[in-house]
Structure 1
Amino acid sequence: MSSEEKRSWVYLVVGVGVAAVYLVTVLSKLPGADVTRIAYVRPMLVAIGAGIGLGIVASIAAAIASPRGEAGRTDERDRQIHRRGEYVGFYVMSVAATVPLALAMAEAAHFWIANALYLAFVLAMVASSTTKIVSYRRGF
């Protein structure tokens, strides 16, 4: 497994895990509550920070665990797979961002707009990482 494929796995696992914890934490407060009173800003900022921090730490750990000389080495195939994954993530984000835009135009509560935007970022990350992993596994 190349270091780039490991990095894609790291981002996928960390991103999905952090997003799941955030969603369970915040959405558990939703039943019977007024969404304008739900404190979502601090948990969202913590989730974003934790995702970035854990992603960096896990990438470093994966690089350390890699065989000597393999970490950081990329070839043309790695660059093409990375580019394809980023394109897919961009398109998913572009489409998914229409939901928070529509919510803002409909003057929905900030809670829904912020969470829809966070979900759009998570979906883009999942699509990008999954595309990269599938490209590595099935061939490019």
Structure 2
Amino acid sequence: MSSILDIREETVSYEEKGTWVFLVVAITGYGVYLALVLPQLAAGTAIDDVDYAGPMLWTIGGAIVAAIIGRIVLEIVSPSETRSPDVRDREIDRLGDRVGNSFVVIGALAALALAMLQVHWFWIANAVYLCFVLSAVLLSITKLVAYRKGVPTW
């Protein structure tokens, strides 16, 4: 007999936890990058003198390390029942990748167009980085929605 007061504990898969970590790290890493670069632009630093390559490489590298550490810490705090993806996890992963890859393509096309227009490499690099971040955010949100609502059937 179940009552209205019964609390059903919902299990979160290993893959879903990883998606949450990926989303938080992508947003945080890009936020750190912007916090390092935007003040230079706001101060009127010439584009040629803006130090962006170092911060970009460090935030990308830092995001990779943070994602690994975040995943390990999350598993220590809240261990998953299994680490093997099931059919649902694989379907959700494919859906998220298809949706997220659209921004990788958009970033490549933006970089190509900017290069053809001979725009400063600062803007080309930032367009690519922004599209990588948007890809990560979009694919993460798509996966998280699919975990809650199910994979749509077209």
TM-score range, shorter chain: over 0.9
Residues in 2 aligned to 1:52 and 1:41: alpha-carbon distance in whole angstroms:
17
Counterpart check, 1:56 vs 2:68: yes
| Corresponding position of 1:44 | 56
Name which of 89, 98, 117 aligns with 1:78.
Answer: 89
Once the two structures are superposed, residues 103-140 of structure 1 have per-residue CA deviations (whole angstroms, 9 ceiling, x without a partner) of 11111111111111111110111111111001001122
Within a 5 Å distance, the mapping from 1:118-129 to structure 2 comes to 118-129=129-140
User: For this pair of structures, how many residues does the alignment match?
Assistant: 139
Counterpart check, 1:35 vs 2:35: no
Q: After TM superposition, give the deviation of residue 70 of structure 1 in Å.
A: 1.5
Q: After TM superposition, give the deviation of residue 60 of structure 1 in Å.
A: 1.3
| Corresponding position of 1:115 | 126
Segments of structure 2 that go 5 or more residues without pairing to the other structure are 1-11
Residues in 1 aligned to 2:50 and 2:133: alpha-carbon distance in whole angstroms:
21
**Structure with larger Rg:** 2
Name which of 79, 87, 102 aligns with 2:113.
Answer: 102
Q: 1:99 to 1:113 in 2, by over 3 A?
A: same
Q: Which has the higher contact order (CA 8 A, sep 6+)?
A: 1
TM-score normalised to structure 2 length: 0.85
Q: After TM superposition, give the deviation of residue 26 of structure 1 in Å.
A: 0.4
TM-score normalised to structure 1 length: 0.93
Residues in 2 aligned to 1:21 and 1:118: alpha-carbon distance in whole angstroms:
13
What is the RMSD of the two structures over their aligned residues, measured on CA atoms? 1.3
Q: Percent identity?
A: 45
| Corresponding position of 2:37 | 26
Q: After TM superposition, give the deviation of residue 82 of structure 1 in Å.
A: 0.6
Q: After TM superposition, give the deviation of residue 71 of structure 1 in Å.
A: 4.0
Segments of structure 1 that go 5 or more residues without pairing to the other structure are none
Is the CA contact (8 Å cut-off) linking 1:3 and 1:71 kept in structure 2? yes
User: Which amino acid letter does the alignment assign opposite residue 133 of structure 1?
Assistant: L
